[in-house]
Amino acid sequence: MNLGGNELEGEIPDFPPLAFQNLERLSFSNNRLKGNLSSLVNSLAEPLFNLDLSRNFFSGAIPTEIEKLKNLQNMDLSSNRLTGELTFDLNKLSTLKYLNLSSNVLKGTVPSTLWSSSSLQLVDLSNNEFETLNLTTWYQGVLKTKSLEASAVLRQVKLQGNQIKEIVPANLIDLDSIIPTPSTNEQQSSLQTPLGFILLTDSPWCIDREANNSSLIERYLCRSNEHVNFWLQPRIDNDGVSTRTLVIVGVVSGLVLLFMACLVAYFLYRIRRRTRELHQIQEALEKEHVKPPFFSYDDLKTATSNFSHDNILGKGGYGTVYKAVLEDGSIVAVKKLHPTEQNTAEFFREMVNITGIKHRNLIQLLGCCVREKQQRMLVYEFAENRSLAEALWGLEKLFVLSWEQRFKICVGIARGLAYLHEELQPKMIHRDIKPQNILLDKDYNAKIADFGLVRPAHTDDTLVTVNIGGTRGYFSPEYAIEGVVSEKLDVYSFGIVLLEIVSGRLCISYRMSAERIYLRAWAVALYEDGNLLDLVDEDLRGAYNEEEVLLVLETALSCLQVDPKKRPTMSQAMNLFMKHADVATEIVKELRGNRTNLGDIMEDRRPHITHENEERTLISSNQSRSHVMELTEMYPR
């Protein structure tokens, strides 16, 4: 009867005695059966010759009634939870050839009757908790035959993984004197044949013998497998150190020396590479008229209190920004950049370009620090009033920005972008204009940040890229859908920021009613209804110049036209603010003549992001003691 591998569970029922008296084979292996074996064993009779109860959860002692199964040849009770000592007499199982009791919790003494069995060929008692091994019968057999094969039949006894600390009799070492040492050829021949063996590998008894230069018998019992040549006596030098120990020490020493040599070679390689890079950088910088000041890593580490979490100003797509107090008492912002594959020479060339960019509405790069590729830092001027994002929505906002301050910020952003697009050569496209990248100094002058970490634009008007950067809600339709990059991308983002400044709300907010979720769509609807002033932040409480507000909102909508060719340049947008009548009239006329061009953006063609995660991205901030609002970018560059 074979019921193995059927995922049977629970206890075996109490069977009547001899219920299976005619059964010859029984297998319950690889199930989840539990309980003791008494009832099952009592239900079996002499015809049984194969019993397999392995890989279950049977517990308790092995019943002595198992002795009645006199025709049993194979018994496998391994991988259960059997406990206690082996109390049944193996000599009564006169036909038993294979006995596997491994991986249980059997304790006590391995019985001496194991060695007097006339039929056993393989016994596996490994991975139990036996503490004593009785080798009396085996010892007497070796004395009689002067051979380590004390039994004519028994071949293998596996006792690895037990807790054997004592072997009876204690005078096993006396066998060394009566066992004749075979010749070299005989040794090898005996190891190639199925020589009977006992393995006590890794038992406490063997570990103790190994530490004290074991004898022949001890080497025989404690070898790792049956093929180890236990005949060889470890050679001892004059200082009492074995050859094996010397070999191990030699190998380990060689490996240590090899490791040290590789380590030294690696550091020498890094030093040479670093020297070569610095030489290239020095040659490159000698040709430049503007050179970025250098800060030492140790100075910046001290200035930021070892880049303490308490000094974090914010985190973004490029890295983490820390507040730093330099040795002279001046306060700066240190941006610790994320690791990059950009080589050092290329990085410094980029820093040279950034250092040469100076404008009152661009955050000023004061210097840089390069320790390794993985530790590059930029040092910027410190913006006392944090970011526009925090001024509008920060949790620690102390007051509401006045309309005068907001209008001043709008003009400052326009001037900064106009400089990047039209005065700087080559022109530069920011690609991520948003309130988090607009910093405010002590007088609430707008300063655009992160502009220098964007590649200079090509001389062509447009560029198509497959790497979409920026933040959703701020990039233009042609960029979101086709990856087209031009200065009109920044113009579109600028239009969104203008709407946020006037309304005091986020560009996307799912807390609003359906028609107000997208700030741009709501603004277009109000414009078409002639109610643009309904967009103004209620916190201003009517304290604003209606003419200026309408000027800013109409400028914003002109920047948000779907066709990039119809959007104004940044200098034209700035002229609107400055009330240059000819430009303003032309742009507003164009805007009013293209109302439909404002409303045909396909919101559902934007990259999909779940509503809940998107709003959390736009409004979440570092609520610890940060000084600048932290807003995670949806598409970090």
Domain CATH for 35: 3.80.10.10
- What's the average model confidence in pLDDT over 334-360? 79
Task: Name the CA dihedral angle for 583, 585, 588, 592, rounded to a multiple of 10 degrees.
Answer: -140
Query: What's the pLDDT score for residue 507?
Result: 92
Checking if the pLDDT of 232 tops 90, the result is: no
E strand intervals along 389-529: 438-440, 446-448, 463-464, 484-485
Residues 397 and 526 in one domain: yes
Give yes or no: residues 492 and 345 share one domain.
no
Q: Is 89 inside any structural domain?
A: yes
Its domain, for residue 151, covers: 9-222
Residue 450 belongs to a domain: yes
The pair of three-digit structure tokens given for residue 324, joined into one six-digit string: 């730093």
| Contacting residues for 318 by C-beta, under 8 A, at least 6 apart | 335, 337, 338, 450, 453, 637
Its pTM surpasses 0.85: no
CB-CB contact of 508 with 519 (8 Å): yes
52, 76, 124, 432: which one is catalytic? 432
Same domain, 153 and 275: no
- Whether residue 326 is found in the same domain as residue 407: no
pLDDT band at residue 592 under the 50/70/90 scheme: low
Q: How confident is the model at residue 593 (pLDDT cuts 50, 70, 90)?
A: low
Same domain as 262, residue 363: no
Query: Do the Cβ atoms of 508 and 618 come closer than 8 Å?
Result: yes
19 lies in the same domain as 58: yes
Position 614 scores a pLDDT of 43
Q: Output the pLDDT for position 461.
A: 52
Q: What is the distance between the alpha carbons of residues 29 and 22, in angstroms, rounded to a whole number?
A: 20
State phi, psi for 367 to the nearest 5 degrees: 165, -175
Asked if 432 is an active-site residue, the reply is yes
Least confident of 501-515, 516-530, 589-603, 613-627: 613-627
Beta strand pairing status for 319-325 and 312-315?
A: antiparallel
The answer on whether 144 is annotated among ligand-binding residues is no
Within a domain: 2? no
Residues 338-345: contacts with CB under 8 Å, at least 24 apart: 339/373, 339/374, 340/373, 340/376, 341/373, 342/373, 343/277, 343/373, 344/277, 344/278, 344/281, 344/370, 344/373, 345/277, 345/280, 345/281, 345/284
- 323 has pLDDT over 80: yes
Q: Does residue 287 lie within any of the structural domains?
A: no
Task: Report residue 136 as tokens.
Answer: 């009396």
Which of 196, 222, 248 delimits the end of a domain? 222
Report percent pLDDT > 90 for the chain.
39
Report if residue 582 sits inside a domain: yes
Residue 82 domain flag: yes
Residues 306 and 428 in one domain: no
Whether 476 and 599 share a structural domain:
yes
Q: Which residue has the higher pLDDT, 464 or 170?
A: 170
Same domain? For 439 and 588 the reply is yes
Q: What is the pLDDT, as a whole number, of residue 516?
A: 87
Q: Beta partners for 167?
A: 133
Closest CA to 387 of 346, 313, 440, 320: 440
What's the mean pLDDT in 606-622? Answer: 40
Categorize the per-residue pLDDT at 144 as very low, low, confident or very high, splitting at 50, 70 and 90.
Answer: low
Percent of the residues in the chain that have a pLDDT greater than 70, as a whole number: 71
Give the pLDDT confidence score for residue 458 in this predicted structure.
Answer: 45
Position 233 in a domain: no
- Domain limit, last residue, from 381, 407, 433: 381
| Residues 427, 507 share a domain | yes
Same-domain status, 447 and 593: yes
Instruction: Supply the pLDDT for residue 229.
Output: 52
What is the pLDDT averaged over residues 320-328?
93
Q: Is the pLDDT of residue 613 over 60?
A: no
Same domain for 562 and 592?
A: yes
254-271: average pLDDT: 88
Q: Tell me the per-residue pLDDT of 352-402, one tens digit each, with 9 for 90 and over.
A: 778 878 899 999 989 888 876 567 889 999 999 989 999 998 876 668 899
Q: Say which range, 58-72, 456-470, 494-508, has the weakest mean pLDDT.
A: 456-470
Q: How far apart (Å, rounded) are the C-alpha atoms in residues 561 and 177?
A: 104
Average pLDDT over residues 151-164: 76
* Average pLDDT value over all residues in the chain: 78
Please report, for the domain that includes residue 304, its CATH number.
Answer: 3.30.200.20
More confident residue, 557 or 458: 557
Q: How many structural domains comprise the chain?
A: 4
Would 290 be classed as within a structural domain? no
Strand ranges (E), 358-489 = 365-372, 375-381, 438-440, 446-448, 463-464, 484-485
Q: Are strands 197-199 and 312-315 parallel, antiparallel or unpaired?
A: unpaired
